[in-house]
Amino acid sequence: MAGSNPNAKPMNLTLNVWRQPNRQAKGKIVEYHVKDISPDMSFLEMLDVLNEDLLHTNQDPVAFDHDCREGICGSCALFINGRSHGPEKGTTTCQLHMRKFSDGDTITIEPWRASSFPVNKDLSVDRSAFDRIIQAGGYVSVNTGGAPDGNEIPIPKEISDRAFEAATCIGCGACVAACKNASAMLFVSAKVSQLALLPQGNVERKTRVENMVAQMDKEGFGACTNIGSCAAECPVGISLENIAILNREFLAAKATSNNLA
């Protein structure tokens, strides 16, 4: 049953998939074949087909993270043919469709690689380092209940829009995966600049950037060398400008904060 395009021909594909039973085990690439893949399928639906095949033949299905399949939750995280989230720009794995591939293609599928993102199993990695960075300061310290009226602080639309753009980061980790240095700067900078741009974030501005950068380093992410792969692969288009803002915020905080530690 074809969908939007009645003329689309089903495809047969070869998949080279990274298989690794658990964090400690050594992994390897295993070759699989899938048949009759509709071009209207999403990439993950194609993997569903593979997994159903594997289950039917008593083999362990390929583990991978996914959830909303709408490109917003940030769960899916596949390195496809040497690119974070595959070949299409501005697209998460779940929104990549098989019409971007051709019959007979060989597709290599790997997990994100970074020492801060250890592999749980197969294509699923542990991204809790991102959570710990946010816990180090990616918030405004307001308790529930004490907030002033929402219209008390007018915020210029332009500033609000820029903060929003930074805030759209989905925390998928494609930036780290694509970066030669496995740097988390784009992720960290998105949160730092969102809160640095907004008046609400101003109170904790200095401690926030100091603590978040310290945590980022502690997690073992690499340093940014302004290569730009991160922004090029970011599925939601977080801009490199945020990294400059982060650098600026960090420098200003270190130079002027009262923190001697």
Partner 1 sequence: MSWITKTLTSSIGRKIIMSLTGLFLCTFLVVHLVGNLQLFKHDEGLAFNTYSHFMGTNPIIRTIEWGLVLGFGFHIYEAFALSRRNRAARGTQGYVSNHSEQNSEWTSRNMGILGSIILIFLIVHLYNFFWRARFGGLPKVGGNDLESRDLDNLYLAVVDSFHVWWYVLLYVAAQISLGYHLWHGFRSGFQTLGLNHRKYTPLIKYVGYAFAVVVSAAFASMPLYFYLFTNEQGDLKAAIAAPIMHAVASAF
Partner 2 sequence: MLLDSKLPEGPLAEKWDKHKFNVKLVNPANKRKYDVIVVGTGLAGASAAASLAELGYNVKAFTYHDSPRRAHSIAAQGGINAAKNYQNDGDSVFRLFYDTIKGGDYRAREANVYRLAQVSVNIIDQCVAQGVPFAREYGGLLANRSFGGAQVSRTFYARGQTGQQLLLGAYSALSRQIAYGKVKMYTRSEMLDVVVVDGKARGIVTRNIITGEIENHAAHAVVLATGGYGNVFYLSTNAMYCNVTAAWRAHKKGAYFANPCFTQIHPTCIPVSGDYQSKLTLMSESLRNDGRVWVPATKEIAERLRKGEITATDIQEDDRDYFLERKYPAFGNLVPRDVASRNAKLMCDEGRGVGSTGLAVYLDFADIIKRTGAEAVSQKYGNLFAMYEKITDENPYKLPMRIYPAVHYTMGGLWVDYNLQTSVPGLYATGECNFSDHGANRLGASALMQGLADGYFVIPYTIGDYLAQTPPTPVSVDHPAFAEAKAGVQARTETLLAIKGNRTPDEFHKALGLIMWEYCGMARTEKGLLYAKAEIQKIKKAFWSDVKVVGTGEEMNQALEKAGRVADFIELGELMVDDALNRNESCGGHFREEYQTPEGEALRDDENYAYVAAWEYQGENQPEKLNKEELTFENVKLTQRSYK
Residues engaged in binding partner 1 (CB under 8 A): 16, 18, 27, 29, 79, 81-83, 87, 108, 110, 113-116, 178, 180-183, 213-214, 216-217, 220-229, 232-233, 240-241, 243-251, 254, 259-261
| 255 binds partner 2 per the rule CB under 8 A | no
Assign 228 to helix, strand or coil. coil
- In the chain, DSSP finds a helix count (H) and a strand count (E) of 8, 7
Minimum distance between the CB of residue 199 and partner 2, rounded to whole angstroms? 9
Rounded Cα gap, residues 149 and 152, in angstroms: 5
Cβ neighbors of 44 (< 8 A, separation 6 or more) are 64, 66, 69, 76, 93, 94
Site for partner 2, residues 114 to 143, rule: CB under 8 A = 120-121, 124, 126-128, 130-131, 134-136, 138-143
The smaller minimum CB distance to partner 1, of residues 38 and 197, is found at: 197
Minimum distance between the CB of residue 155 and partner 1, rounded to whole angstroms? 19
Cβ neighbors of 49 (< 8 A, separation 6 or more) are 34, 37, 41
Rounded Cα gap, residues 179 and 82, in angstroms: 12
Contact partner at residue 131 from partner 2, partner 1, none, CB < 5 to 8 Å by partner kind: partner 2
Contact partner at residue 30 from partner 1, partner 2, none, CB < 5 to 8 Å by partner kind: none
Q: Do the beta carbons of residue 231 and residue 174 sit within 8 Å?
A: no
Contact partner at residue 87 from partner 2, partner 1, none, CB < 5 to 8 Å by partner kind: partner 1
Contact partner at residue 71 from partner 2, partner 1, none, CB < 5 to 8 Å by partner kind: partner 2
The alpha-helical segments, DSSP class H, found in 168-225 are 174-178, 185-197, 205-218
